[in-house]
Amino acid sequence: MTNRITLGFLFIVGAALAAPETEVTIYNQDLALIKDHRTLDLAKGRQEFAWEGVAQTLDATSASFGSSSAWSVEQNYRFDLVSRSVLLAKYLGKEVQLVHETVAQDGKTVSTTVSGRILSIEGERITSLQSDGKILLDPPGRVVLPSLPEGLLVKPSLVLDLESPKGGKTDAELRYLCSGFSWKADYVAVLDSAGKSIDLDGLVTLQNRSGASFQNAKLKLVAGDVNRVHERSRNDGDGVYMLADAAPMASRAKMVAPAPQFQEQGLFEYHLYELQRPTNLLDNEQKQVSLLTAQDAKAVTRYVFDESLYQKYWWWTRETDSRDGLKCGVLLDVANREENHLGIPLPKGKVRVYKEDKGGSLQFVGEDLIDHTPRGDTLHLSLGQAFELRGKRVVESSDQNGQQKTETVRVELRNAKDQDVVVEVIEHQSWPTWKVKDSSQNFEKRDASTIVFKVKVPKRGQASVSYTYTASWK
């Protein structure tokens, strides 16, 4: 008897007895390592097994099969999946049936069946059919196929040619790399009203565009820059998908630190974060999971005047500053140390900073990107420009004689705030040899080309610093 179908089903030689146990390790660079554990029931000898449910973005060259009592002789990635257009393409030039239904005058449905050979198709429809010596153009009706074409699958599958000397149940694992997965860290920092401490929440944003779903998966995230070999260029985007800003809590007093969901450990020269519970990673899904929570970490606000900064930060341009000088930059320093209630490796991401107003409501005050930050380092968050602090750099004198130069520089600072502040005046030199000959106050030589003056500027007042240097090309 002929088996007539309108939808296909998956053909598998062999069967998986137990529900899959999957481990998904996601990297920062549009890459994931899938480890799919299953118990198989194999026959003795040579056989095919279709390992269904693999990612559509699977890198077939990375796939590796492992088993205690079977091995793979050959493996083929098949992604020719059942669809209307694929089924019609498989039956081009072959016999099919078209069932056309009409409603008679008495209200009854009348079905007419036409058999014929498909001559041409366009996408998901038959455009010409040969039937009883006639050619039917755009024939109406529901297509009925006699059987499912061999080799078609309903899910992407890695078809394995296995050799099993004994047969029976065996534990097996399929490992492969795939693209379509991404993750990134986002942080919400709440600064107290005094501006001296923060509460920090870290969130992980996950994206699955691999073409497969993984239920109850063991999730691991790798933070670090893993080297990959790119044999040909691809234009897949950067794998970054933005969600709306994570809303901070209305008051710091209400914040309660939950138990950490991720456990961190070192992995080679990177860091691995393992979610302490299984999770579902559905295809075309975006989700957020809490990464960390830290409270009352000491924060230091710094004001910086550095003319080179406007070249580094997008918000600092000479065109937006008045003739009275450039606005000073505002930086927030947070030490990533255990004694400061942190001390954990922080994955790179965006830090959004909020601060309480006088009414206790949180307001957004700036954001910055951080790189992978190991424990012991300090976060330097650039939040924007100080509304009431300006600096103006003036070259008072300059004398150059051949390859030697002597110059006097004065930096004038103005403070319209109601409290005294300290402004770090940063000066850079591009000369190979230079030396400060005279200065109005002490300075710190940060490196071979940078000196820093820490200038106290009184409230609603002014202050200045000047220095003379000599430089040469020798």
Residues 415 and 269 in one domain: no
Lowest model confidence (mean pLDDT) among 65-69, 87-91, 203-207, 240-244:
240-244
> Would you say residue 4 lies in a domain?
no
CATH number, domain of 442, equals: 2.60.40
Kindly report the average pLDDT of the chain as a whole number.
Answer: 82
> Would you say residue 365 lies in a domain?
yes
Residues 59 and 119 in one domain: no
**Which residues partner with 67 through β-bridges?**
172
Q: Kindly report, residue by residue over 96-115, the tens digit of the pLDDT.
A: 999 988 888 887 888 889 99
Residues 338 and 259 in one domain: yes
Q: Kindly report, residue by residue over 255-287, the tens digit of the pLDDT.
A: 444 555 776 666 666 778 888 889 999 999 998
User: Does 156 or 112 have the greater pLDDT score?
Assistant: 112
| Total of domains in the chain | 4
CA distances to 309, 348, 366, 376 from 300, rounded to whole Å, are 19, 21, 15, 16
- The tokens for 393 are 């750099």
Please compute the mean of the pLDDT values over residues 204-224 and round it to a whole number: 89
Give the per-residue pLDDT at 309. 63
Residues 140 and 234 in one domain: no
| SS3 track for 370-437 | ECCECCCCEEEEEEEEEEEEEEEEEEEEEEEECCEEEEEEEEEEEECCCCCEEEEEEEECCCCEEEEE
Of the candidates 329, 359, 385, which is a domain's last residue? 385
Residues 240 and 328 in one domain: yes
User: Does 355 or 12 have the greater pLDDT score?
Assistant: 355
Please compute the mean of the pLDDT values over residues 421-444 and round it to a whole number: 92
Lowest model confidence (mean pLDDT) among 103-107, 431-435, 463-467:
103-107
Q: Is the pLDDT of residue 301 over 90?
A: yes
Lowest model confidence (mean pLDDT) among 57-61, 314-318, 388-392, 423-427:
314-318
Per the structure, the complete domain to which residue 130 belongs is given by 84-144
Residues 198 and 234 in one domain: yes
Residues 135 and 168 in one domain: no
Residues 271 and 407 in one domain: no
pTM greater than 0.75 (yes/no): no
**Which residues partner with 237 through β-bridges?**
none
